[in-house]
Structures are given as structure tokens and as C-alpha cells.
Amino acid sequence: MLPELGEFALILALLLSALQAFFGIAGPALGRARWQDSVVPAVAGQFVMVLTAVGCLVASFVNNDFSVQYVAENSNSALPLFYRVAALWGAHEGSLLLWIFLLACWTLAVAIGVARLRQAFAVRVLGVLGVVSFGFLLFTLATSNPFLRLDPAAPDGRDLNPLLQDPALAAHPPILYTGYVGFAVAFAFACAAMLEGKLDETWARLTRPWASAAWAFLTCGIALGSWWAYYDLGWGGYWFWDPVENASFMPWLVGTALIHSLAATEKRGLFKSWTLLLAILAFSMSLLGTFLVRSGVLVSVHSFAADPTRGIFILIFLIVMIGGAFSLYAWRAPALRSKAGFEIVSRESFLLFNNILLVVAAATVLGGTLAPLISDALHLGTLSVGPQYFGPMFLVSMLPLLALVSVGLHAKWKRGGVVEARRPILITLGVGVVVGLAVFVGAFADAGWLTPVGIALGVWLILSSLIDPLDRLRRGLSLSRAVLGMTVAHIGLGVFAIAVTSVQSFTHERDIALAIGESAPVGGYQFRFDKLESVDGPNYDGVGAQISVLREGALVAVLHPEKRHYFVQGSVMTEASIAVKPTRNILVALGEDLGAGRWSIRAQIRPLINYVWIAALIMAIGGVLALSDRRYRTARVAAERAAAGGGSAAGTAVGEQGA
């Protein structure tokens, strides 16, 4: 019964989203007050229906209802309860349902957060979100229904992909998708502003916290995915430039540009059309990512069963949404041009350069991701694009960006020049260079040119970010959450630069063949193979090794890497074992049985690797701090006053009701 109830709820949600989209867009356009009034109830109804559908599918998983195809394919009666719930997003159909659910949550939040504003605008935002929701619901029901029954029911399930049976991965998709979907809100704000033909500082102030929230979630989601890859894929890599990783990284880069561009729009009413474009682009990148992952156009480690009909559907959806938004942009953006000007060495121009570099970086990643596809379509032969392309290309835009942030932070709005801050900038740069060179000369011999540059830029950025806040504190001035958030996020970026540089430069990695009792040196540590034993899990068995890590005779860590064999899917998984130290991680993975009691073992020492993820977390915290700034709460009151005062530019005053 439950699966049918879930499917029925999804159909009702589809109908409600259609109402939400129609009333939300047509209501203000035609000035029908009654139509506008029905948008929020449609949003609430849709949320309840989607929640019901999710609840039904979760219940089917928990009850081990293997008459549901999706459950039978992604769960097993031996699977622990936690993973039976997480298996909801273990494959395509459930991931989509999760996407829809998160969109419903965001939409509800928007309805609560902005419903007290000028009604016409809030209603248009909800209308655009309704279109997005309608597309995804239709997609799910037409091509990816998670509630399909199996007749006869399977005796037991085929189990969740063992790669996904991991706590970090259970949390990774919901957080990542929250970020992805969150950009739909900024997108809807942009479309609503264009539909209305009015874009002012209040608009930017309203949009900014939503964009920052989505960005913070996306940051955490990507970091969590990278962390998972590091310890669960088993081989100690943390970023592969895989199409799916790129798909999450592109919206992040554009989203970063968006939150900075919004700052200029809010403060100075500048870059309006540029901000609109970035808001469209950030969500487009999310949709494009979905397309790339779900259509099977590109082969990736992450792709589940891909299906061309799904690809066609998403492509059509992509054309309607993004093509529609860009058409709207071409039509309306010229009227929304900014009128203010700025001098060449002002904060505005630094933000503009920041935007350009970030968009260039996103374009670089997009180009690399799509290159095999384009080359294939044009019959230019096959092409493979790997880290050899992405690594250097990415640095081309990122290194200047780091330097730019350190200087740009001290530039004033509107007025030219950074002369006043010249001394602190130069002093912090000097400290950065000294630290970079010290590490380069002092620490390890085989480091490349990137080592001193990356570390110097990172140190410079951290110190430079601290100048202004410390100066304000010294002078007894208060520090707004916005400034604090910005400072924290930039420090996070600096930490990130230092950590990534160190990991890339100073990783020691060796594959060693050891028999029990033998040991081998790697990067100043001694790895001793103590024993091998069998392991038994709920849905797997395998072998586990015990490996002692010693430094100058003293025991540093005892590691237990495993090689697991999952019964149902017959797959073998390498479970690496990692000793986490403040300054480095020591990872050991068990390779192949080489015969005669010898095993191949990968030993890897990565310095500062944890700080790569901690840095991402710091950035996300910065984003959250910034969006909790007081002015976003007071903005609402100001907007309400403005709404009570005047009508909208599009002349829909008939439908307007003050708050």
C-alpha cells in the first residue's frame, strides 16, 4: 500500500507544483490577487505531499519491502538500519526524490522568509521555483519512478553499493544537494526581478543570504565528498577531476563569484546584469551537473545506471529552464543596467576581477569536462582529459585570485587607491614570502616552484585578512557579522591554499610488498606487517591486516586495513586504515595477495591533508556568519516599509498588497 500512496502523493505534488508555477507567474503578470493568494497554499501542499512520498519510500526501505524494485536493487535484509535509510539516495530514483524534497524544503523556507515582503515579488519567486519543481517531479514520475513494484517480489535485495556504505557518504548527498538546489532560490530571485523589471539594492540584500546559504552547503558537501573519496575509495586520493566532481565544483566557483558580485550590487548598486547572469549561471551549472551525471553522456566513477531517455528529458528541461532564463535576460537585463561608476583601483574593480577569474576557472573546468564530448561530436578523434590538464589550468586563474584577494580586501568602495593600506599589505606579503621560502629551503628537497608560491600566497592571505578586523578591534570599534564572516571565509581560503600546496608537494607514497613480520621504510616511518586475520561483517567478510607504524623505533600507530568481500554484489572493497595526526595522516591500504605470504601494501603519508577539509569547513562557517548579519533581518522590515510605500515598476499595483 505504502508505495502506491507515495506515488499518488508525488502525482499530487506535481499538480500542486503546476498550480504554484502558473499562479506564481501569471498572477502578478495579469494582476489577479486571488491567483497570487493561492501560491503559498500550493507551496505548503506540495511540501506535505513530497514529505509523504519520502516517508513512504523510507518506510519501504526500513520494512525491507523487496516488492519495490528500487528497494530490492539498493538494499538488503542484512544491511544495517542506518544504511537502509541512507539507501534512499543510493541510486538514481531516490536521489531525484531527495532533490525534490530538498527543493520543497527550500521553497517552504522562501515562502516563510519572504512572504511578508511585497507580495508580487515573493509570489514570482515561488512561481519560478514551482517551474523547477514541476520539471523535476515530471522527470521522476515519467522516467525514474522509485515506487515501481516488482512482481513477484524479490526474496532479498541486491544490497546497497558497498562504496556507499559509509557514514560520510550517507551524509554527503543530502548536504551537497542542499547546496545544489539552494542555487535554485538565487535563480528564482533573479528571474523574478527580471519578470518584474526592477532590481535594486534591496533585491541584492534579499538574495544574498540565500546565495550564501546555498554556497555554504555546497562547500561542505564537496568537502565531505572529497573526504569520502580519500578514505573510502581506498587509495588516498582526494580529488580526481572526475566529471561528477567537476559537476559539483562548477556551481561552487560560479556561486562564489555570485556572492561577491551580490556584495557590489548591494553596496553600490553595481554589476546588476552581471549578478543576474551569475545567479542564472550558478543554477545552470547545477542542472548541467545533473545532466552529465544522469544521462551517461560522460563516463564517471560516480555514474549509476545511465539511461539515454533520461538524458533527453533532462536536456529538454535544461533548454526550457536555462534557455528561458537567458532569453529573459537578453530581453530584460538591458533595462536593469547599473548607473553608478567606479574608479579603476576601487573595491568594485577588485570584485570584478575576482568574478572574472572565478568564471574563467569554472569555464576551464567546464571545457575540460566537456572536451571529450565536443571532440567526439566534431569527429576530431578521441580525447582524454585528466589531472594533467585540470591541475595547471586551474592554477592559472587561482594563483592570481589569491594575490588579488589579499590586496583587494583593503580597497575602498568607489574611491580609488589602496595607498593607505600599502604598508600592511607589503608587510604581510613579506611575511608570506619569508615563510614560503623557509618551507621551500628548509623542509624537503624535492619540492617544486609551486611550494613556496602556494604557501606564501596562503600566509599572505590569512595575515592580510586579519589586518582590518584587528585594527577595528584595537580602535574599540564593533565588528559586524558580515565582516567577521568575510574574514573567516578568506582565512579558510588561505588555509586551503597552504594545505593543498603541502599535500601536493610533500606527500610520501610507496607501494611495498611485505610478508608477515617484515617491515619497510616510507618517508621516515617504518611500516611493519604484524599479522593477517579474517574479518566478518554483517554483509561482508574479508581479511584484515595489522600494520604497526614506527618512527625511530617508537610506535606511532597501529593500523588495520581491510579487504572486504561483499556477499550480495560480489564486489571487493579496499578499506584503508588511517592514523590521523595533527600535522599529517598516515594511510595504509591492503593490496593484492602476492603469494607466498606476501601482500602488496600502499603506505602514504600526507601532511596537512585534514586542513584541506577543515579549510572548506572554515569557509562554510564564514558564509553562515555572513548571512546571519543583522542587516538581513532588518532588511525585511525596510522592504516591508518600501512595499507599503510604492508600487512595482511593472505596473502590477493592482495585485499588490502591503504586508
Partner 1 sequence: MNRYFVPLGSFVLLAIVLAIGIRHSPDKGLIQSPLIGKPAPSFALPDLTAPGREVQASQFSGRWYVFNVWGTWCAECRAEHPALVAIAKSGVIPLVGLDWKDDDGDARRWLSELGDPYVEVAADRDGRAAIDWGVYGAPETFLVNDRGVIVHKQIGAMTAEIWQRDFLPLLPRRAGS
Q: Which residues of this protein are in contact with partner 1, per CB under 8 A?
A: 233, 235, 237, 240, 242, 273, 277, 280-281, 284, 291, 295-301, 303, 306, 308, 311-312, 315, 318-319, 322-323, 326-327, 329-330, 333-334, 370, 372-374, 376-377, 381-382, 384, 386-388, 511, 513, 570-572, 591-592, 600, 602
Pick the closer one to partner 1 by CB: 287 or 627: 287
Residue with cell 551517461: 296
Copy the grid coordinates of residue 138: 515530471
Pick the closer one to partner 1 by CB: 35 or 394: 394
* SS (HEC) of 485-544: HHHHHHHHHHHHHHHHHHHHHHCEEEEEEEECCCEEEECCEEEEEEEEEEEECCCEEEEE
Q: Residues, the chain, total?
A: 659
For the chain, the first-to-last Cα distance in angstroms comes to 44
Least distance between partner 1 and beta carbon 72 (Å): 15
Neighbours of 292 (CB within 10 A): 24
Buried-state track 460-482, b at ≥16 Cβ within 10 A, e below 16 = bbbbbbbbbbeeeeeeeeeeebb
Cα-only R_g, the chain: 27
Pick the closer one to partner 1 by CB: 55 or 311: 311
Least distance between partner 1 and beta carbon 243 (Å): 10
Pick the closer one to partner 1 by CB: 54 or 385: 385
Least distance between partner 1 and beta carbon 186 (Å): 16
Q: Residues 17, 46: contact at Cβ < 8 Å?
A: yes
Least distance between partner 1 and beta carbon 377 (Å): 4
Pick the closer one to partner 1 by CB: 8 or 235: 235
Buried-state track 229-261, b at ≥16 Cβ within 10 A, e below 16 = bbbbbbbbebbbbbbbbbbbbbbbbbbbbbbbb
Least distance between partner 1 and beta carbon 534 (Å): 18
Strand bridging mode 598-607 / 525-536: unpaired
Pick the closer one to partner 1 by CB: 48 or 233: 233
Phi and psi angles of residue 564, each rounded to the nearest 5 degrees, phi first: -105, 145
Pick the closer one to partner 1 by CB: 391 or 646: 391
Least distance between partner 1 and beta carbon 157 (Å): 15
Q: Which of 487, 401, 497 is nearest to 456 (CA)?
A: 497
Pick the closer one to partner 1 by CB: 51 or 318: 318
Q: Sign of dihedral through CA atoms 459, 462, 463, 465?
A: positive
What 3-state class would DSSP assign to 299?
A: coil
Least distance between partner 1 and beta carbon 313 (Å): 10
Least distance between partner 1 and beta carbon 422 (Å): 36
